Amino acid sequence: MKLTPKITKAINTAATLHDGQERKGDGLPYIVHPFSVALILMDYSEDEDVILAGILHDTVEDTGYTKEQLKDEFGERVASLVTDLTELPKTYSWQERKDHYLKHLESTSHESKLICAADKLHNLQSMLEAFRNFGNGALEKFNAPADKKLWFYEECLKIFKKDEKMPKELISQIEVLLESIRSEI
């Protein structure tokens, strides 16, 4: 996938919306995450809407950006893909949000699952790197204990494995990271 005007617009939108936000484990600017998700997706999809949704996947959940704004700027399909990956508001407990997310993920499209897998892959890469760089202190910055976070990623992995179109290499990378993190903790 080449850089298109729509991808450029999504990059600019995400960078503006996530401005000032940091990643929990390492303190890097948050925007490294959606960009990384998009780069991972480019290895597995030529679908511009999938790449756009990868860049924008956390905007509705973590900024003041609404689904309506997303739909107006990037179309119904991108808005739908992002909505598939948007958790319940933070007024719900961590466990309630994750349980709802997993239940919904089961019935989403392959494209939504692919974006989710790229998101989880990058999160796991970041978690492992933060742990190696900062020790157990890095894991304390997350909203849930490490064992709960790993449970969530393992449940997502089970859903990915049921998707016959999910690239085996992507599944394998997630499995390796989960095992590496488990052995480090």
Cα distance between residue 61 and residue 98, in whole Å: 13
Q: What is the pLDDT of residue 102?
A: 98
106-112: long-range pairs with CB below 8 Å, 24+: 106/159, 108/84, 109/81, 109/84, 110/163, 110/165, 110/166, 111/45, 111/47, 111/49, 111/50, 111/53, 111/81, 112/53, 112/81, 112/84, 112/85
Contact yes or no for 54/118 (Cβ under 8 A): yes
State the maximum Cα–Cα separation within the chain, in Å, rounded to a whole number: 45
Predicted TM-score (pTM) of this structure: 0.96
Q: If pLDDT is split at 50, 70 and 90, which confidence band does 86 have?
A: very high
The CA–CA distances, whole Å, from 68 to 52, 75, 77 equal 16, 9, 12
End-to-end CA distance of the chain: 37
Q: Can you tell me the distance from the alpha carbon of 24 to that of 6, in angstroms, rounded to the nearest whole number? A: 29
| pLDDT class of 92 with cuts at 50, 70, 90 | very high
Tell me which architecture the domain covering 5-184 has in CATH.
Orthogonal Bundle (1.10)
What letter represents residue 96's amino acid? E
Active site residues: 61-62
62 vs 57: CA distance, rounded Å: 9
pLDDT tens-digit readout, 95-153: 999 999 999 999 999 999 999 999 999 999 999 998 888 887 776 777 788 889 999 99
Span 34-60, pLDDT tens digits: 999 999 999 999 999 999 999 999 999
Alpha-carbon distance values, 82 to 58, 60, 130, 155 (Å): 8, 8, 26, 20
Secondary structure string (H, E, C) spanning 51-88: HHHHHHCCHHHHCCCCHHHHHHHHCHHHHHHHHHCCCC
Residue 1: its pLDDT value, please?
Answer: 84
